[in-house]
Amino acid sequence: MKFPDLLCTKLGKEVPMKTSTACLSHSVKLVAFSILLVTSGWIQASQAIQEVSRSEVGEWLEATKGLEPRFKPGDVLTADDLDKIKPFLPPGPIGEMAFPEFSMEISETGNYAPHPAYQQATLQFQGQASLGPDGALTNYIAGQPFSNPSIDNASAEQAGLMAAWNNAFRWQHYGQKVIFAHNLFLEERDNASSDFSIFPPEMISGGGHIERSVDLGWRRVYMSRLAQLANNNYRFDFRGAESSIYKELTEYFAPFEFRDQKLLAERWADPHENDTLNAYLPGERKVRRLSAKEKSDTWLGGEITYDDFYGFDGNVLSNTWTYLGRHRVLAVMNTKHQYIRHYGPHSRVLNDRWELRNALVVEGVPTLEGHPYGSRMMFFDSENYNFIIGLYFDPQGRLMRGSTPAYSWSEDTLDNPEENHGAHVSMYKGYAFMNFQTGRTSLTNVIQTSYPKAEAKEVRRLYRVDTLNQGR
């Protein structure tokens, strides 16, 4: 989703006593990383403002590569167990968890494989997709463009592009429909409250101050590359579908000054073509076209840019990509709550069950001059290519922002089960987007969501520029 800015120690596994080269190398890594933890100040009380460099994150990746967990499913880890967690959460996010009330429930690593139709298309077209001279995806029909082994065997630059394209074309059924999402903007103050929320206070508890909130809904529908529509050339059956990847409509409900503002976005099949963005502003009573450059601006003055939704939601070719290898990390892949919950000193730690996931780590450097990020580091789940951790660095190489999303598995969810069961999709339920330099946070909690089968007549009716000025 994209929105217009309408508002002005001991670490890792225990190493047995042996004299092998592998054991020695492992021990050296542990010592080096322990020094890194002390010198960087990660072993301290949780603070909203953290100083972490890109090089320190790189050292963490190297020092913790291949470490085995010292916990198991069923364990409940506390603040006394942070040394067990640190190999599986990067600097920045791990610093948020050093508070006395911290608790992390470890669950089994689940199976969140995409829909059988997507898997069938992946097998059918395996090896067909390729990268053009400029990194553009070519010869792609449907399914996952590139296999994990092909990524592991490619150069770092080629592999980074391949992983980014896999994320862009991950399984999303027909697209997401969010009836209602609650967005909170927090400042670094004590005594968080739910004064602006109609929902239970446990959804956000701890420190921080709710500066303002915004309520909205959005829906995205995919037009082509649809694995489930093999009988119709993998696209919707109406004119223009083959030239479009998706259409997306966002509507604002509250506060009053935002009410009835809308944004219509379209991503094109041509990877060299910028997204088309049209916003309806009731105060001006007209539709305004937004430029591609505005996508690097922050959404509503918060801690997220338009391209940061879903971790990275921009044009793949707007970055240069590098593959950094694989890493196991902790993530909330199947929330135990109907609505996700955040707590902690700054109300931005997920209070949920976590599981170990295998991730591909890629780094993207924006090519747009003047972009607020020097680079973004994305952790993509190796099973379904949803993002599970995002780190965003400023042009000076300092960690600027971080994001830890939460998902719900469609086959288990109680949220609109009649539409979601059978979709076999990791349902995006929200995120905490943290600014480690200012202490500010943007939270999104998706309240009512589904991944329904789209109808052509609905697409024709809703996703039109000439109807943006009509009421809901």
Is 95 within a domain? yes
Nearest CA to 349 out of 414, 399, 394, 402 is that of 402
Q: What tokens appear for 102 in the block?
A: 């911290």
- Asked if residue 65 and residue 184 are part of one domain, the reply reads no
190 pLDDT band (50/70/90 cuts)?
low
Tell whether the model's pLDDT for residue 170 goes beyond 90: yes
Is 4 within a domain? no
Tell whether the model's pLDDT for residue 201 goes beyond 80: no
- Among 106, 126, 147, residue at a domain's last position: 106
Half-sphere exposure of 68 (CA within 13 A, CB side): 7
Average pLDDT (446-465) is 88
Q: What tokens appear for 350 in the block?
A: 């997920």
- Asked if residue 182 and residue 41 are part of one domain, the reply reads no
* Cα–Cα dist 65/203, whole Å: 34
260 pLDDT band (50/70/90 cuts)?
confident
State the pTM of this model. 0.88
Q: Could you give the 3-state DSSP secondary structure of residue 324?
A: strand
Is 2 within a domain? no
Amino acid at 453: K
- Asked if residue 312 and residue 225 are part of one domain, the reply reads yes
**Number of structural domains in the chain:** 2
Tell whether the model's pLDDT for residue 46 goes beyond 70: no
* Cα–Cα dist 141/122, whole Å: 9
Is 148 within a domain? no
Is 132 within a domain? no
- Among 88, 106, 124, residue at a domain's last position: 106
* Cα–Cα dist 448/177, whole Å: 8
Average pLDDT (35-53) is 54
Domain, as residue range, for 83: 21-106
Strand pairing of 103-106 and 353-366? parallel
Q: Who contacts 125 (Cβ-Cβ below 8 Å, separation ≥6)?
A: 140, 141, 142, 143
Residue 103: Cβ within 10 Å count? 13
Tell whether the model's pLDDT for residue 457 goes beyond 80: yes
35 pLDDT band (50/70/90 cuts)?
very low
- Asked if residue 190 and residue 85 are part of one domain, the reply reads no
- Asked if residue 372 and residue 232 are part of one domain, the reply reads yes
Q: What tokens appear for 459 in the block?
A: 């697409």
Is 178 within a domain? yes
- Asked if residue 210 and residue 314 are part of one domain, the reply reads yes
142 pLDDT band (50/70/90 cuts)?
very high
Average pLDDT (83-103) is 96
- What pLDDT does 338 receive? 87
Q: What angle do CA 356, 359, 360 make, to 5 degrees?
A: 170
- Asked if residue 365 and residue 455 are part of one domain, the reply reads yes
| Percent of the chain topping pLDDT 90 | 65
- Asked if residue 350 and residue 211 are part of one domain, the reply reads yes
- What pLDDT does 309 receive? 87
Tell whether the model's pLDDT for residue 8 goes beyond 50: no
Average pLDDT (321-340) is 96
Is 91 within a domain? yes
- Among 78, 106, 134, residue at a domain's last position: 106
- What pLDDT does 305 receive? 85
| Residue found under tokens 């929200």 | 430
Amino acid at 163: A
Q: Who contacts 141 (Cβ-Cβ below 8 Å, separation ≥6)?
A: 121, 125, 128, 129, 225, 234
Half-sphere exposure of 37 (CA within 13 A, CB side): 23
CATH of the domain at 374: 2.50.20.10
Lowest mean pLDDT, pick from 18-22, 227-231, 254-258, 318-322: 18-22
62 pLDDT band (50/70/90 cuts)?
very high
Please say whether the beta carbons of 11 and 31 come within 8 A. Answer: no
* Cα–Cα dist 166/359, whole Å: 13
Q: Could you give the 3-state DSSP secondary structure of residue 425?
A: coil
Q: Which residue has the higher pLDDT, 2 or 416?
A: 416
- Asked if residue 172 and residue 102 are part of one domain, the reply reads no
In this predicted model, what pLDDT tens digit does every residue of 334-351 receive, in sequence order? 999 988 999 998 889 999
* Cα–Cα dist 55/188, whole Å: 27
194 pLDDT band (50/70/90 cuts)?
very low
47 pLDDT band (50/70/90 cuts)?
low
- What pLDDT does 455 receive? 85
- Asked if residue 56 and residue 191 are part of one domain, the reply reads no
Q: Could you give the 3-state DSSP secondary structure of residue 223?
A: coil
Average pLDDT (15-20) is 33
Q: For the chain, give the mean pLDDT.
A: 86
- Asked if residue 186 and residue 294 are part of one domain, the reply reads yes
Burial of 99 (0-12, 13-18, 19+ CB in 10 A): middle
- Asked if residue 195 and residue 76 are part of one domain, the reply reads no
- What pLDDT does 121 receive? 98
- What pLDDT does 292 receive? 65
Amino acid at 173: H
Average pLDDT (109-137) is 98
Tell whether the model's pLDDT for residue 294 goes beyond 80: no
Helix or strand (DSSP H, E) at 320:
strand 319-331
Is 13 within a domain? no
Q: Who contacts 466 (Cβ-Cβ below 8 Å, separation ≥6)?
A: none
Amino acid at 76: V
Tell whether the model's pLDDT for residue 370 goes beyond 90: no
129 pLDDT band (50/70/90 cuts)?
very high
- What pLDDT does 269 receive? 96
255 pLDDT band (50/70/90 cuts)?
confident
235 pLDDT band (50/70/90 cuts)?
very high
